[in-house]
């Protein structure tokens, strides 16, 4: 009997190193009005932010947990510290960042990436941003890229105008939680007509055990501008649950373009309940590239609202669910304007008891005439312990549309292996090629260095046959 091909668990060793849980301030565990007020006091915020926090807390207490999706019983807010300030203030030179924290980001390759191909970098450690920088020529063009706390202080009108307007606080329970205790994150404003050639990257590292990260990312790409933003996340593994409930709000104005790439590699004790949403104006386009590799439980459904006529969105995502992982991911799109179009391509690989679920919504409203939407999702199962489910909701409310959805689930085709072997490839090479080819639609959308990292994450170890 042939042994089965083994696709290794994701090699997270490079991310799984712990620093001492050494912080300047860690708030008491749990969630209460006093804790929320204390976070606000610690951050020395204006009163309008505290008002939003308190309103969000009230909303959080009123809303129920979702009745669908993965079981969230493990989440006990009374065991989570929602704010941990590291022993470092925000710096704009890596040399000024404390050695231990700097070493962390060195190991993750952030400063190297900045030197080679990024236009700006933000690095968050636990609840606060410790490093933020942007190339001078972008500053002179009026590009704002800063941490969220600085943005509240320095650009209050701009922040007030957009903050919580894309993702409202009552959207769901965990976004209400986010607004109650949010800390850190990035703020980006790209002025009219400015096209960034190189990407900006924010990296979020959660080091403290039994804590949560609630960063808020707000990006405004003004008319005719373009931006590629990369988000990376990781954490070392602890025995207790960590929580990530971030929020991403994207505003893509007329004729603007935004590409938002995420390589998420949280540790396997993380509950990743993140919310991402974009509002796209006339002729604008937002593209999402999403790689979900880590976390114990993920509930992540980026959303595009195609508000303006002729606006577009594309979503390319891959998720890899290994042992003890339940990744419930997908995409939501609402077509509001005329002639809008969306293309969704989702891939999932599940093995060793992992559960990969694709859950999506496509809603085409009555006025969104001449809209087009195409959805494809493929699930690859590598053993019989795993699960792969596809749950798409398609809601079409006018007749002048072209909508199609396709999905496929199964194992690696023996025919494909046979074909490649008949062309001279060894069995192992054939299988490796098929699995990497399966992930290719995502990796080809990433900058080269990230694609290499993603391929490294999916480390094939082949023994005998797949299937």
Partner 1 sequence: MEINKSPILTSVNYGINNIDFPQSEIKYSHGKFNSFTTCGTENCSIKTNYGILAPEFLVKQNQNFCTSIVIKKTQDEPIILNFDLDKNNSVLIDYLSIKVENFVNAKVIIKYKSNADVYHNSLININATENSNLDVLVINDLGKNSTNLIKFNNLVQENGKLYYKIIDFCSNYTIHNFNSKIEENSLCELKSIYIGGENCLIDLNYTQNLLEQNSCCSIDCVGAISGNATKNFKGTIDFKKGATKSKGYENEMCLLLSNTAKSKALPMLLCGEEDVDGTHSSSVGKIGDKELFYLMSRGIDRNEAIRIFVKAKFNIVLKDLDEQTMKEILDRIDKELDNER
> What residue ranges bind partner 1 (CB under 8 A)?
366, 379, 381-384, 386-411, 467
Q: CB nearer to partner 1: give 411 or 456.
A: 411
Q: Which is nearer to partner 1, 213 or 390 (CB)?
A: 390
Main-chain phi, psi angles of 45, to 5 degrees: -90, 160
d(CA 429, CA 438): 14
For residues 197 and 157, give the distance between their C-alpha atoms in angstroms, rounded to a whole number. Answer: 28
What is the DSSP annotation of 179-214? HHH----EEEEE-TT-B-SS-EEEEEE--STTBEE-
**For residue 380, what are its two tokens?**
């690859």
Least distance (Å) from partner 1 to the CB of residue 305? 19
Provide CB contacts within 8 A for 292, sequence distance 6+.
262, 264, 272, 298, 300, 317, 318, 319, 320, 327, 329
Q: Find the shortest distance in angstroms from Cβ 392 to partner 1.
A: 6
Residue 391: beta bridge partners?
A: 359
Question: Euclidean distance between the first and final Cα of the chain, in Å?
Answer: 12
**Closest CB 434 distance from partner 1, rounded Å:** 15
Tell me whether residue 302 or residue 392 sits nearer to partner 1 (CB atom).
Answer: 392
C-alpha 169/C-alpha 123 separation (Å) is: 25
**Does an H or E element contain 87, and which?**
none
206's tokens: 């959660």
Shortest distance (Å) from residue 378 CB to partner 1 = 10
Query: Shortest distance, CB of residue 379 to partner 1, whole angstroms?
Result: 6
Closest distance to partner 1 from the beta carbon of 35 (Å) = 39
- Shortest spacing between CB 400 and partner 1, in angstroms: 6
CB of 467 to partner 1, least distance (A): 6
User: Angle of helix 448-457 relative to helix 110-117, nearest 10 degrees?
Assistant: 150
Which H helix or E strand runs over 324? none
Query: Which residues does residue 314 pair with via DSSP β-bridges, in sequence order?
Result: 287, 343
Shortest gap between Cβ of 148 and partner 1 (angstroms)? 37
For partner 1, give the closer residue by CB, 398 or 440: 398
- Please enumerate in sequence order all residues whose Cβ is within 8 A of that of 406, keeping only pairs 6 or more positions apart, or say none: 375, 376, 377
Q: Which is nearer to partner 1, 391 or 421 (CB)?
A: 391
Helices (H), 136-293: 136-140, 148-154, 156-162, 173-181
Is 101 or 435 the residue whose CB approaches partner 1 more closely? 435
- Write the burial class of residue 158 (CB in 10 Å: 0-12 exposed, 13-18 middle, 19+ buried): middle
Cβ 8 to partner 1 shortest distance, Å: 17
Torsion of CA 411, 298, 227, 224, to 10 degrees: 100
């Amino acid at each position: 009997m042939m042994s089965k091909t083994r696709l290794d668990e994701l090699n997270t060793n490079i991310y799984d190193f712990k620093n001492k849980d050494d912080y300047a301030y860690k708030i008491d565990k749990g969630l209460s009005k006093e804790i929320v007020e204390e976070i606000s006091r610690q951050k020395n915020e204006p009163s309008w932010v505290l008002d939003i926090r308190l309103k969000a807390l009230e909303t959080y207490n009123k809303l129920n947990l979702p009745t669908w999706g993965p079981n969230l019983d493990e989440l006990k807010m009374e065991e989570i510290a929602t704010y941990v300030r590291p022993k470092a203030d925000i710096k704009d030179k890596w040399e000024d960042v404390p050695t231990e924290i700097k070493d962390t980001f060195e190991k993750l390759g952030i400063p190297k990436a900045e030197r080679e191909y990024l236009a700006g970098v933000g690095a968050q450690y636990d609840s606060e941003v410790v490093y933020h920088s942007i190339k001078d020529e972008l500053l002179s063009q009026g590009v704002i890229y800063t941490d969220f706390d600085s943005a509240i202080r320095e650009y209050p009108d701009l922040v007030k105008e957009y903050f919580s307007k894309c993702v409202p606080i009552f959207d769901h329970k965990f976004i209400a939680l986010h607004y109650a205790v949010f800390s850190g994150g990035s703020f980006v404003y790209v002025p009219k007509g400015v096209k960034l050639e190189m990407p900006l990257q924010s990296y979020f590292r959660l080091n403290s055990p039994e804590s949560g990260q609630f960063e808020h990312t707000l990006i405004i790409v003004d008319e005719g501008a373009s931006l590629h933003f990369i988000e990376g996340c990781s954490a070392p593994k602890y025995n207790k649950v960590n929580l990530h409930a971030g929020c991403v709000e994207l505003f893509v104005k007329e004729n603007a373009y935004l590409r938002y790439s995420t390589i998420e590699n949280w540790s396997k004790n993380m509950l990743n309940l993140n919310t991402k949403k974009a509002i796209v104006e006339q002729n604008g386009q937002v593209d999402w590239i999403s790689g979900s590799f880590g976390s114990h439980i993920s509930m992540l459904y980026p959303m595009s609202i195609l508000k303006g006529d002729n606006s577009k969105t594309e979503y390319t995502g891959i998720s890899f669910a290994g042992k003890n992982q339940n990744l419930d991911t997908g995409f939501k799109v609402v077509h509001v304007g005329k002639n809008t179009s969306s293309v969704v391509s989702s891939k999932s690989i599940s093995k060793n008891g992992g559960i990969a679920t694709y859950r999506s919504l496509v809603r085409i409203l009555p006025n969104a005439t001449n809209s087009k939407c195409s959805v494809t999702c493929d699930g690859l199962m590598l053993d019989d312990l795993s699960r792969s489910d596809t749950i798409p909701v398609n809601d079409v409310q006018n007749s002048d549309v072209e909508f199609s959805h396709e999905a496929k689930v199964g194992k690696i085709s023996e025919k494909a292996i046979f074909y490649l072997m008949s062309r001279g490839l060894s069995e192992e090479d054939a299988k490796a090629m098929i699995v990497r080819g399966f992930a290719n639609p995502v990796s080809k959308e990433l900058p080269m260095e990230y694609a290499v990292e993603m391929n490294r994450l999916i480390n094939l170890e082949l023994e005998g046959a797949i299937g």
